[in-house]
Amino acid sequence: MVAEILIGLVTSFGYLGVFAASLIGSATIILPVPSFFVIFFAGTTLNPLAVGIIGGLGAAIGEMTAYAAGYGGRAIADRKKTDSKKRLNNIEKLFKKYGGFVIIFIFALTPLPDDFIGLFCGAIKYNPKKFIVAAAAGKIILYTFLAYAGFYGLDIVLNYLS
């Protein structure tokens, strides 16, 4: 059902639909939305490089919902003095010291659950500009790969399925 709606966005609105479908797919926190399939499909009919860039930007903006939720959660946690707050501060120091940008990029580049990274980055008040740049870089590469897979691989997939 959700996939049909997202594919409808792409077929009706082209690149704007790719952006919207990617944004919606990434804006959902924890719930799986089939945006990978939509990007693969869009790559079969639209320019795969443009699909990758536009879809990646939409997905990176959508990831800001997880960041915002984490940021809001941190505000609530700051009101309480607990051991978990101390642990979060220790993890935050390690994250920033050992390359949070790279970790965000890797989670965005792969099918790893990047919602958790967004929640965490918001909770530790990681620089939102760095977060969105790292997320966009990873998503653009991933979505470009998926779009090209759709562009070159649809015939292979259809032959395999039939």
| The predicted structure's pLDDT at residue 96 | 77
Arithmetic mean of pLDDT, 16-25: 90
| The predicted structure's pLDDT at residue 1 | 62
Report whether pLDDT(59) > 90: yes
Q: What is the pLDDT of residues 73-132, one digit of tens each?
A: 876 666 666 666 777 777 788 787 878 899 999 999 998 888 889 998 998 889 999 999
CA 73 to chain CA centroid, nearest Å: 20
| The predicted structure's pLDDT at residue 55 | 96
At CB < 8 A and 24+ separation, what contacts does 107-113 make? 107/138, 108/59, 108/60, 108/63, 108/134, 108/135, 108/136, 108/137, 108/138, 108/139, 108/142, 109/137, 109/138, 109/139, 109/141, 109/142, 110/138, 110/142, 111/36, 113/30
Tally of domains within the chain: 1
Place of tokens 């909770």: 123
Binning pLDDT at 50, 70 and 90, where does residue 161 land? low
Report whether pLDDT(13) > 80: yes
- Which range has the top average pLDDT, 27-36, 50-59, 72-81? 50-59
| The predicted structure's pLDDT at residue 83 | 66
Binning pLDDT at 50, 70 and 90, where does residue 12 land? confident
| The predicted structure's pLDDT at residue 79 | 65
Q: Which residues contact 130 (CB under 8 A, 6 or more apart)?
A: 100, 101, 104
Residues of the domain holding 51: 2-161
